[in-house]
Every structure is written in structure tokens, then in C-alpha cells.
Structure 1
Amino acid sequence: FSLKDLLGLTIMIPLLTTLALFSPNLLGDPENFTPANPLVTPPHIKPEWYFLFAYAILRSIPNKLGGVLALAASVLILFL
């Protein structure tokens, strides 16, 4: 298996290096290429995918303390 692993490594490392050096923005978010305007807040601000559950919980409860408690309770449920 070591020979197959070395073969895969010698193929993948140059491919990934070529991708990173010659086209670093190929897989990036198109929103990163729009110029920033500090005077205007964008209308479509949304968190990254790994914070969407917390964002949904905090938006669903209008009270700030209630939202924080609901978020803490949802995380606490995962540990039970």
C-alpha cells in the first residue's frame, strides 16, 4: 500500500500546488471580488454555513436574553 500512497501523493501534490499558485481564486466566493463601500451596508448579510443554526435561533426569538438562553439550551441538548 505504501507504493500506491506514494504514487497518489506524487500526483496530487503537484496538482494542488499548481491550483494554489496559478489560480488561487478559482473556488472562492464571488462576493469577495466586489469592492467594499464603507458607507453602505449590504442588504444580504448572512453568516457562514457553520453559524446558520445559531443565526436562525437568535433571529426567531425577539428578546436578546431569550435568544441567548435558547442558543445555550440547543447546544446543551447536544451534550445530553
Structure 2
Amino acid sequence: LSAVPYVGNSLVQWIWGGFSVDNATLTRFFAFHFLLPFIIAAATLIHLLFLHETGSNNPLGLNSNGDKISFHPYFSYKDLLGFAIMLIALCCLSLFSPNLLGDPDNFTPANPLVTPPHIKPEWYFLFAYAILRSIPNKLGG
């Protein structure tokens, strides 16, 4: 938003409450993050309602009843069948092989002497890591 000419700065200040990240900014972000999927779903439903009210081949709203087939039951059953197939596929994937789309790093055995590859330590902490790794475990390890 800040890239919008003339009013970008004001928009950012109005929506997020300034450029600093504080409690008000996080509250607004979480509110938008929670509400946006519902807004998109509502807009999709409204779009489908109006699309099937006038027909997708009739953007001008002209009377073309003779050219149209009824929306229900043909398209309703087609949409329900597609939804059911996708739901069954998702359920089969999640119930029969839940780890198929997972990250294989989650199943590597723990090794306290090796930093996992997905953790990139900051360069200025490397000496501390070296010192801590050189100290043997006093708890019987």
C-alpha cells in the first residue's frame, strides 16, 4: 500500500496504525488474516449466485431463456459430484498415507552434536556453539 502515489503513506497509517509493529498492528493483522478467507468465500458465493442467475454466456443480461438449460439439477449435481470426489481424495490421502506430503526432516533421529540443516545459526553465535559443544554433558550423556 505504501507504493500507491500520494495516498500510500496515509493508507498504511490508517490500516496498520503506523509503521511500527506493536499490539495494535498485530491485532489488525490477525483480524484481517482470520476474516479474509470468509470474505473470499462470501464473494465466491455471491459471484456464483449472480453468475447462475443470469447465465455465464449472457454478460449483458439479455433475455436468452431459449438458449439456456436449467442450472438445477444438471450443474448442481456436477458440482456436488466434483466436491465429493475431491473430498474423498483428500480424505484418502490424509487417512491412508498422512506422511506423504510431509517434510522428511521430521523423521530424522536427533543428534545433539549436529545442528539440523534447516536451522541456519547467525555467524556471531558460532563461537558460542563451538564452546557449548566442546563441554561434555555432565548429566550422564
Scaled by the length of structure 1, the TM-score of the pair is 0.47
Q: Which structure has greater helix proportion?
A: 1
Scaled by the length of structure 2, the TM-score of the pair is 0.29
The structure with the largest alpha-carbon Rg is 2
